[in-house]
Amino acid sequence: MKILVVGSGGRDHAIAWKFRTSPRVSRVYVAHGNAGIAGTAECVNLKTIEEMADFAEKERIDLTFVGPERPLSAGIADLFRSRGLPIIGPDRKASRLESSKCDAKVMMRELGIPVPEFENFSDPDKARDYIRSVGYPVVVKADGLAAGKGSLVCESVEQAEEAVRQIMEERIFGDAGQRVDIEKRLYGRELSFFCFTDGYTIVPMVAAQDYKRARENDQGKNTGGMGAYSPHPWLNDSLVETIMSKVAEPLINGVREKYDILYRGILYLGLMLVEREKEIIPYVLEINIRLGDPEAQVILPRLRTDLVDISEAILAGELKSIQPKWDPDYRVCLIATSGMTKGKRGWYKGYPDRYKIGLPIEGVDRIDQNCLVFHSGTEMDSSGRFVTTGGRVLCIVSSGSTLREARETALSEMEKVSFEGIYYRKDIGLE
């Protein structure tokens, strides 16, 4: 089989790597990839969804798997299916569950799915009036796609008002800030929960613990993710059943029956688990329409079942015939980011703020071969060296029979990597 993976980040590198492990796959292409991905698959310079569909037709691609949310929101699945090209990912209509936080919250409230108290606003003055009226801490979220950074967690009324100003008036997330979702800040245990679905059958994956904040001890701004580990320490069968019965099943069945949305592909639920009167309530903080980054980097290495078999079952509407098998060992992902560096006009604060690019990366070739290295923001310079091109640069994924063992391995291997301003959280997996 020939596979096309759409994406250019660490998650997409992990997806391409996973397909390469399949005995059924002869060739993997990635559009458009990066320098690290080029060591795993053949990168092709395709930027638009039309170019990708043309390529899939010309090369007779047997299966396309979409990593990021933007091409899905742009309708890549609709385009491919209109041409009879097999593709994994929800269509444009289903993609609204991620591309509009406001619409998604309204749908879930109407379906009776637990969500924080919220209101949506397109007028910044009305948003500020609401913040002053509620009397509790809130989270202010840009409605549209913001690369995982569009949620501003606020401690006070003043912080929340400033968040509205930045998102809606300063437009720090661009057009994603035309509307905001303002929701009550919940306190509990966060969980990233993933499922495969063909629109009828929903099959849970193993879960991962993600770390969104830029600094250790969960301080600093939200990022696209600074690291992750799997399996999750306190997710048991009972809790899986609670999440499936209260969230995943009502969502997939509800959007199909009420909104005529057949959701096929990957479902990612960002949950806050709150204990109320000895009952755990899984509140949905966000829905994503694809694998997470960096959760994919710790989940896919644990998947023993062929991803081709799972993908074909989704396409055929036969997911009920699949029971994925998982490696019980721990995986820990540490992400090296572009940190603070000095420029000609002062200091770059580093990811998720401004950062310098084009910095030579050393030591990747010295990483133990028992670890996996997935690239997010790298390219090759004229001398054949990896250099940085993004805020998240690369990640190391280690394994171990215990979380501590996997964590210590990841930290020791990351010490071999260097570039100016390198920063990574050293508390990933320190539970």
Is the bond preceding residue 250 a cis peptide, omega within 30 degrees? no
Residue 56 has pLDDT above 80, yes or no: yes
Using N-to-C axis directions, what is the helix angle for 249-259 and 101-110, rounded to 10°? 90
Place of tokens 């950062």: 355
Rg (CA), the chain: 21
Mapping DSSP to helix (H, G, I), strand (E, B) and coil, where does residue 413 land?
helix
At 303-355, the pLDDT tens digits run: 999 999 999 999 999 999 999 999 999 999 999 999 999 988 889 999 999 99
Buried b (16+ CB within 10 A) or exposed e, 1-16: eebbbbbbbbbbbbbb
CB neighbour class for 166 (10 Å; exposed up to 12, middle 13-18, buried from 19): middle
Mapping DSSP to helix (H, G, I), strand (E, B) and coil, where does residue 250 land?
helix
End-to-end CA distance of the chain: 42
- Kindly list the structural domains of the chain, giving each domain's residue range(s) and its CATH number in brackets, ordered by start: 2-88 (3.40.50.20), 121-178 (3.30.1490.20), 187-321 (3.30.470.20), 330-423 (3.90.600.10)
Mapping DSSP to helix (H, G, I), strand (E, B) and coil, where does residue 159 land?
helix
Predicted local distance difference test score (pLDDT) of residue 48:
97
Residue 147 has pLDDT above 90, yes or no: no
Question: Across all residues in the chain, what is the average pLDDT?
Answer: 96
Residue 159 has pLDDT above 80, yes or no: yes
At 209-262, the pLDDT tens digits run: 999 999 999 999 889 899 999 998 889 999 999 999 999 999 999 999 999 999
- Rounded to whole angstroms, the Cα distance separating 229 from 162 reads 33
Two structure tokens written together for 250 = 């009502």
- Rounded to whole angstroms, the Cα distance separating 386 from 366 reads 14
Two structure tokens written together for 248 = 């995943």
Report in angstroms the alpha-carbon separations of 352 from 158, 159, 225, 347.
22, 18, 10, 14
At 265-289, the pLDDT tens digits run: 999 999 999 998 889 999 999 999 9
- Rounded to whole angstroms, the Cα distance separating 139 from 162 reads 12
Predicted local distance difference test score (pLDDT) of residue 240:
96
Place of tokens 């997911």: 319
Q: Check: CB of residue 56 under 8 Å from CB of residue 4.
A: yes
- Rounded to whole angstroms, the Cα distance separating 430 from 211 reads 11
Residue 394 has pLDDT above 90, yes or no: yes
Q: Check: CB of residue 367 under 8 Å from CB of residue 413.
A: yes
DSSP tally for the chain: helices H, then strands E: 13, 25
Question: Among 430, 228, 413, 236, which residue's Cα sits nearest to residue 332?
Answer: 228
